[in-house]
Amino acid sequence: MLITALAILTRQFDYHSFVNSFKGISWVYVAVLVLLQLITQLLLNYQWCRIGRVLGCPLDFVGMLYVNAQGTLMESVTPGVKVGGEVTRGYLLKKELGCSIDLAVAVVALQKLFSLSAFFGLNLLALFHLSNRLALPADWQKLIYLLLFSLTCLMLTFLFFPEKIAGRLERCSPGPKWLQSGKGLLLELLTHTTRLKGYRREWWKQFVLAVMLWLLFPVKLLLLVRVFSGNGDFLFVSAVAFISYLMVMMPLTPGGLGSFEATMTGLLVLMDLNVYDAAVITVVFRFITFWFVVLLSIGFVACWQIFRMRGTKDETAKTTAQSAYADQHDPGTCGHFSG
C-alpha cells in the first residue's frame, strides 16, 4: 500500500522542488552521518572479532574488515536476507583468517542470531508503535505480528536453550545422509553456542552490541529528519528505519533497491513531511548507510589486493635473491681452482 501511494505521488513529482530540498542539508550533517556510519562499521567488526575470540578462533581486526568488505559487496548484488554475504564471510574466515570450517560457520551463524534476534524484536515494537498510523487490514497486521514474534522466539530459543535443542536432536532417529550431515552441522553450531553462553558477561555484551548497532540507524535518520522537521519523534523514526530494513530482507531486488526507498519515503510522508523532503531524506540516508559502505568496501578490497600483490612480489624477489646468493657461494660452483 505504501508503494502504491508513493507511485501516485511520484506522478506529480517536481524535481526542481526535490533539488531545493536537497540543498537544505548542510555538509556538517553529512559529515556527522559519515562519522556515525564509520563507527557502525567498526562496532560491527568488533562484534565479529569478540565472537571469534571466545570460540577459539582469534580474528585479526584488519583481516576481519576485509572479510566484511567482501561480504558487503556480495550483499549488494544478491536479493534479500544477505545469504550471499554470510556465505562469503564464512568462506573467507576459513581461507583468509585460518578458521576451521565448523568454527567459521559458528561465528557467522552466532553473529547473525544475535543481530536478527535484536532486529526482529525491535521491528515488533516498531509495528506496535505504528499500528495506529498504518492503514493495514487487521488480518495483515495479525499475520505480520505473528511472523515477527515467531522469528524472534526462534532466534532467542537457539541462543538461550542450545543444550535442550541439542539433546532433542541427538534423540532423533537417523535419516537420509544429507539430513544426517545437516544434523551434524547444527549440533556443532549448538555446541559452540553453548560454549559462548558459558561466558555470561560476553553473552549479554553481544546482545547489547546488536541492539546498539541497530539503534544507530534511527539516530542517523533522526538527524536528517530534524533538518526538515524540528519535532522528529525518535520512536516513530525508529519504526520507519526498522520497517524499511525489514523490506530490504525480503528477496525482491539486489540489495533491497527500490523496496527500501519506497517504504521509507512512504512512511516519512506519514510524519507530515512533504514528498520532496521525504525523498531527499531517504536518498541521503540510503547513500550513507548503503552506497557509501559499498564504495568504502570496494576501496578497502582494492587496497588489500594491491598490498597482497606487492607482498607476493617482494617475497618472490627475496627468494630469487637468496637463491642467487646461495649459487654464488656454493663450493661446488666456485669460479677458481685450488692447487
Q: Could you write out the DSSP letters of every residue in 90-116?
A: HHHHHHTT---HHHHHHHHHHHHHHHH
- Label residue 335 by pLDDT band (50, 70, 90): very low
Q: Kindly indicate the confidence band of residue 118, based on its pLDDT and cuts at 50, 70 and 90.
A: very high
Residue 287 has pLDDT above 80, yes or no: yes
Per-residue pLDDT at 139 exceeds 60: yes
Cell digits of residue 135 = 492503514
With b for 16 or more beta-carbon neighbours within 10 A and e for fewer, the 221-253 pattern comes to: bbbbbebbbeebeeebbbbbbbbbbbbbbeeee
- With a CB cutoff of 8 Å and minimum separation 6, the contacts of 32 are 223
Q: What is the pLDDT of residue 38?
A: 95
With residues binned 3-state (H G I as helix, E B as strand, rest as coil), the percentages for the chain, rounded to 5, are 80, 0, 20
> Cβ atoms within 10 A of the Cβ of 199, count?
13
More confident residue, 208 or 229: 208
- CA-closest candidate to residue 161, choices 197, 200, 205: 197
Calpha distance 65→114 (Å, rounded) = 19
Place of cell 550513507: 288
State residue 227's pLDDT score. 85
- Across the range 269-276, mean pLDDT stands at 83
Partners of 254 in the beta sheet? 79
Indicate the DSSP class of residue 79: B
pLDDT above 90 covers a percentage of the chain that reads 28
Please enumerate in sequence order all residues whose Cβ is within 8 A of that of 10, keeping only pairs 6 or more positions apart, or say none: 275
Confidence of residue 232 (pLDDT cuts 50, 70, 90): confident
Could you tell me the pLDDT band of residue 50, with boundaries at 50, 70 and 90?
Answer: very high
Most confident of 76-80, 127-131, 167-171, 330-334: 167-171
d(Cα 221, Cα 234) in Å, to the nearest integer?
9
pLDDT of residue 125: 86
Q: Specify the pLDDT at position 231.
A: 66
The CA distance from 15 to 64, in Å, is 42
Map grid coordinates 551434524 to a residue.
184
Output 58 or 135, whichever has higher pLDDT: 58
Q: How many CB atoms lie within 10 A of CB 63?
A: 17
pLDDT (0 to 100) of residue 288: 93
Predicted local confidence at residue 338, as pLDDT? 42
Q: Mean pLDDT over all residues of the chain? A: 81
Amino acid at 162: P
- State mean pLDDT over 165-173: 81
Q: What is the mean pLDDT of residues 131-148?
A: 76
Residue with cell 558477561: 201
pTM here is: 0.81
Q: Return the ∠ at Cα 184 (arms to 168 and 55), rounded to 5°.
A: 95
